[in-house]
Amino acid sequence: MITDPAYEVAPWSLYESELNLELLPQSESVFALSNGHIGWRGNLDEGEPNGLPGSYLNGLHELHPLPYAEGGYGYPESGQTVINVTNGKLIRLLVDDEPFDLRYGTIRSHTRELDMRAGVLRRECVWVSPAGRAVRVRSTRMVSFRQRAVAAIAYEVEPLDEQVRVVVQSELAANEEIPRATGDPRVAAALESPLASEEHFAGGTRLGLIHSTTRSELRMAAAADHRVDGPRATTQISSESGDDLARLTVTAVLEKGERLRLEKFVAYGWSATRSLPALRDQADAALVGARDTGWQGLLDQQQSYLDDFWDRADVEVDGDTEIQQAVRFALFHVLQTAARAEQRAIPAKGLTGSGYDGHTFWDAETFVLPVLTFTEPKAAAEVLRWRQHTLPTARERAAQLGLRGATFPWRTITGDEASSYWPAGTAAFHVNADIADAAVRYVAITGDHDFEKETGLELLVETARLWRSLGHHDHAGAFHIDGVTGPDEYSAICDDNVYTNLMAQANLVSAADAAERHPRHAAALGVTNEETATWRDAAAAMTVPFDDELGVHEQSAGFTRHERWDFDGTDPEHYPLLLHYPYFDLYRKQVVKQADLVLAMYLRGDAFTAEQKARGFAYYEPLTVRDSSLSAYCQSVIAAEVGHLQLAYDYLGESAMMDLKDLENNARDGLHIAALAGTWTALVAGLGGMRLFDQDPIRFAPRLPDALSRIAFRLMFRGRRLRVEVTRSTATYTLADGAPIEILHYEDAFTLTADQPVVRELPSFAHQEAPKQPPSRAPRRRKAPPAG
């Protein structure tokens, strides 16, 4: 956790006013740039010191055997790990033969700024070498949103006092040494030297390296070109290349007032199928495009891309400048993660680090896609199309497990299951309903019926088939889904997990509905009326365990009868519990790692009464230890719904500060993209009270905690731009464009017409005593920082 403020609070940027080498691993994640295809961690230009060198291409991975001391039928044999690809951001500097290395000499000033409107990372450093030479180094780095294969850097050095001789080495470097992963199972296994050289090139200002991976047999190309601007008389350029290194060297003698400026354009490509010449040409072509656009052109494109994004997606927060900054930081990184992923997965860490081996999980669909669907819908569609493309693998997996339809993997890069611990992998079948839910939500929000026909329907049908074969009717006709693991990973292999059953229920009904809407497409998938009838029947008969005595839902059958975890006897240092207690003990007791029933109350809020929600939240809150970054935001949403606004605000703060304050001490491995997305959700669905169930009208039930005076958010909804502004007393709904649309403000339905804002009063709330969390696990009570 970062205790002192690391970054200054500013509405549109993340500004670091001095360099803390201790925090480099975390700040590399926070300052990472990505467009969803290329990811560059915020490593210093000169490469060292570093926490974790990281350059990633979405989907480019290596395979490795998964070892089992005792194997079992259906255990995945091959693991997948994202690899650190050729580093194109490396620019080393020598000042009078002394390496520019911040561990030596004197740093007079060092600032970094992630500019979320310009879409660049800026750095400025004044450094005095051990020999006493003072230089100013400035760099601006970007990964282009518009030119998917391109990243670029502008790099400048100037002497501050006297003449210096500088050498700048701009590199493409493969197989960098990276630190070994720790023993923590959640940290990605590091793979050593994963890239085998196939070709290298250096000529003029151009560099190129082509490599392939050994087991996964993927090929990648990295190419760079440069524009060099320095004193004509003294500036010299040379270049060279080897298997794992291509290097442009620029030397110059700079007088005070003179600068050496380097513009570096980098292009990447990778493929499982394309030949070496084809891939080389692809990278070279991208490079020519970038160079033609030029540095300023790339900056302009980036700015216009982001202007457009913020215009439809911005969230404003008055009264808490940290949250204001954090929610934009969150949206910016969610966008970076997905913008140009284009039929690739969204990894849990985006492309900001190698945590979780670069795998995608259910949180992409459940936590990240809702935000994208309201703000960058085409990126959400692409993720679901990627899932659709992996259906052949998912069907094979279902068949292997003796099930019908498709079984999507718990964790994967390629679509193949890569989870080696089945009680928290294969058994977590809810991922299938989560994907279906994302598809249904996408259609509900965008109204994109072509997508439903071409993609959504197939996802829904195959997952409905899975549920139908996974569950069964008992002798009284009730439908049960036994032996599965819900979102709470401190319970596993349970019968009738409420979250799973309710999500499966929606999945079954949505599949039947979609098949009715698209009968020809459904028929092509082999769907018959008899089949959809069995889906509806199973959905109608779905078991939802409820403890009548306590008047609360059982997270899973029998849960409320289990022994309570001994929270009072648990050392606060023993969190997260999974590192200090065996699974067997966690699984059999009442202790919740992350919102499970509470998440069901959000995503399937239509299946609970208001009283059930209040009682459920009150029951599960004292059991929930939040050992997962996936929890705080949904606790925030339901806390707001049941009337605990300060608690909702506290959880919002936790979700928002997850990475900026490194609350889980693992931001070094990459950002928690789902928690970032959750920050938006806590504001929009929590304080904004937004809900949307399938074809119902969109509903808002806004309410603000005492600390906030105003929030405003923008949404894309069925092709329209919608803006909601909430003050302490009113909500103002504005439709920027498009046909009129029905809106619910609490239970008050009205039709919103373009450019005719509607203002509604907020109802008053009775203050409710909030439930307590387990000792030492309460969220930090949030107070808004003084306005800056």
Smallest gap, in angstroms, from Cβ of residue 518 to a copy of itself?
A: 32
561, 728, 772, 783: residue in contact with a copy of itself (rule CB under 8 A): 561
# residues contacting a copy of itself (CB under 8 A):
47
10, 21, 66, 160: residue in contact with a copy of itself (rule CB under 8 A): 66
Distance of CA 72 to the CA centre of its chain: 32
Nearer to a copy of itself, 187 or 647 (CB): 187
Q: Which residue has the tokens 């992998």?
A: 425
Q: Quote the CA–CA distance of 292 and 227 in Å, as a whole number.
A: 11
Q: Is residue 504 within 8 Å of residue 434, measured between CB atoms?
A: no
Q: Which residues of 650-670 are buried (b: 16+ CB within 10 A; e: fewer)?
A: bbbbbbbbbbbbbbbebbbbb
769 binds a copy of itself (CB under 8 A): no
492 binds a copy of itself (CB under 8 A): yes
Smallest gap, in angstroms, from Cβ of residue 666 to a copy of itself?
A: 16
- Residue 26 annotated as part of some ligand binding site: no
526 binds a copy of itself (CB under 8 A): no
Tokens of 743: 């809106």
Task: Report helix angle 673-681 to 321-338, nearest 10.
Answer: 130
Nearest to 54 by CA among 419, 368, 411, 350: 350
- Residue 453 annotated as part of some ligand binding site: no
572 binds a copy of itself (CB under 8 A): no
289, 423, 697, 719: residue in contact with a copy of itself (rule CB under 8 A): 423
71 binds a copy of itself (CB under 8 A): yes
Burial class of 694 by CB neighbour count within 10 A (0 to 12, 13 to 18, 19+): middle
Nearest to 423 by CA among 526, 494, 345, 356: 494
In one-letter notation, the amino acid at residue 750 is F
615 binds a copy of itself (CB under 8 A): no
Smallest gap, in angstroms, from Cβ of residue 597 to a copy of itself?
A: 19
Q: Quote the CA–CA distance of 775 and 147 in Å, as a whole number.
A: 50
> What DSSP letter does each residue of 747-773 carry, written as one string?
TEEEEEBBTB-EEEEPPP----PPPPP
541 binds a copy of itself (CB under 8 A): no
Query: Which residues are 726's β-sheet partners?
Result: 711, 731
Q: Which stretch binds a copy of itself (CB under 8 A): 124-132, 146-154, 575-583, 650-658?
A: 575-583
Tokens of 629: 């970054």
Nearer to a copy of itself, 72 or 526 (CB): 72
CA distances from 633 to 444, 684, 729 (A): 22, 11, 24
Query: Which residues are 484's β-sheet partners?
Result: 494
In one-letter notation, the amino acid at residue 45 is D
68 binds a copy of itself (CB under 8 A): yes
> What DSSP letter does each residue of 203-220 carry, written as one string?
ETTEEEEEEEESSS--EE
584 binds a copy of itself (CB under 8 A): yes
588 binds a copy of itself (CB under 8 A): yes
Q: Is residue 495 within 8 Å of residue 557, measured between CB atoms?
A: yes
107, 288, 493, 525: residue in contact with a copy of itself (rule CB under 8 A): 493
The reply to whether 489 belongs to the active site is: yes
579, 736, 739, 749: residue in contact with a copy of itself (rule CB under 8 A): 579
Nearer to a copy of itself, 288 or 401 (CB): 401
115 phi/psi in degrees, rounded to 5: -95, 110
Hey, which bits of 255-412 come out as E strands?
260-271, 315-318
482 binds a copy of itself (CB under 8 A): yes
Smallest gap, in angstroms, from Cβ of residue 573 to a copy of itself?
A: 14
563 binds a copy of itself (CB under 8 A): yes
558 binds a copy of itself (CB under 8 A): yes
404 binds a copy of itself (CB under 8 A): no
195 binds a copy of itself (CB under 8 A): no
Alpha-carbon torsion angle 300, 305, 311, 315, nearest 10: -110
Smallest gap, in angstroms, from Cβ of residue 414 to a copy of itself?
A: 16
472 binds a copy of itself (CB under 8 A): yes
Smallest gap, in angstroms, from Cβ of residue 580 to a copy of itself?
A: 6
Residues 6+ apart with CB under 8 A from 178: 52, 53, 84, 190
Q: Is residue 154 within 8 Å of residue 261, measured between CB atoms?
A: yes
8, 98, 258, 495: residue in contact with a copy of itself (rule CB under 8 A): 495
Burial class of 729 by CB neighbour count within 10 A (0 to 12, 13 to 18, 19+): exposed
Nearer to a copy of itself, 381 or 591 (CB): 591
If residue 505 lies in a helix (H) or strand (E), which one and from where to where? helix 498-517
Q: Is residue 395 within 8 Å of residue 701, measured between CB atoms?
A: no
Q: Which stretch binds a copy of itself (CB under 8 A): 72-80, 296-304, 638-646, 705-713?
A: 72-80
474 binds a copy of itself (CB under 8 A): yes
Q: Can you give the length of the chain in residues?
A: 788
728 binds a copy of itself (CB under 8 A): no
185 binds a copy of itself (CB under 8 A): yes
Q: What SS3 state is found at 674?
A: helix
486 binds a copy of itself (CB under 8 A): no
Smallest gap, in angstroms, from Cβ of residue 430 to a copy of itself?
A: 13
399 binds a copy of itself (CB under 8 A): no
- Residue 89 annotated as part of some ligand binding site: no
Nearest to 224 by CA among 133, 277, 290: 290
Alpha-carbon torsion angle 756, 757, 758, 764, nearest 10: -170
Smallest gap, in angstroms, from Cβ of residue 582 to a copy of itself?
A: 4
196 binds a copy of itself (CB under 8 A): no
- CA-derived radius of gyration, the chain: 27
If residue 197 lies in a helix (H) or strand (E), which one and from where to where? strand 195-203
548 phi/psi in degrees, rounded to 5: -65, -35
139 phi/psi in degrees, rounded to 5: -140, 150
409 binds a copy of itself (CB under 8 A): no
67 binds a copy of itself (CB under 8 A): yes
578 binds a copy of itself (CB under 8 A): yes
- Residue 535 annotated as part of some ligand binding site: no
Q: Which stretch binds a copy of itself (CB under 8 A): 26-34, 63-71, 286-294, 347-355?
A: 63-71
3, 103, 183, 571: residue in contact with a copy of itself (rule CB under 8 A): 183
Determine which one of 113, 489, 554, 654 is catalytic.
Answer: 489
Nearest to 324 by CA among 656, 2, 33: 656
551 binds a copy of itself (CB under 8 A): no
Distance of CA 584 to the CA centre of its chain: 30
Q: Which stretch binds a copy of itself (CB under 8 A): 297-305, 573-581, 657-665, 736-744?
A: 573-581
Smallest gap, in angstroms, from Cβ of residue 669 to a copy of itself?
A: 16
Q: Which stretch binds a copy of itself (CB under 8 A): 262-270, 342-350, 478-486, 641-649?
A: 478-486
300 binds a copy of itself (CB under 8 A): no
If residue 369 lies in a helix (H) or strand (E), which one and from where to where? helix 369-375
70 binds a copy of itself (CB under 8 A): yes
Q: Which stretch binds a copy of itself (CB under 8 A): 48-56, 152-160, 169-177, 476-484?
A: 476-484
Residues in the annotated binding site for substrate? 362-363, 593-594
Name the residues that contact a copy of itself, by CB under 8 A: 66-74, 79, 183, 185, 400-402, 419-423, 426-427, 472, 474, 480, 482-484, 492-493, 495, 557-558, 561-563, 578-585, 587-589
Residues in the annotated binding site? 362-363, 593-594
Catalytic (active-site) positions: 489
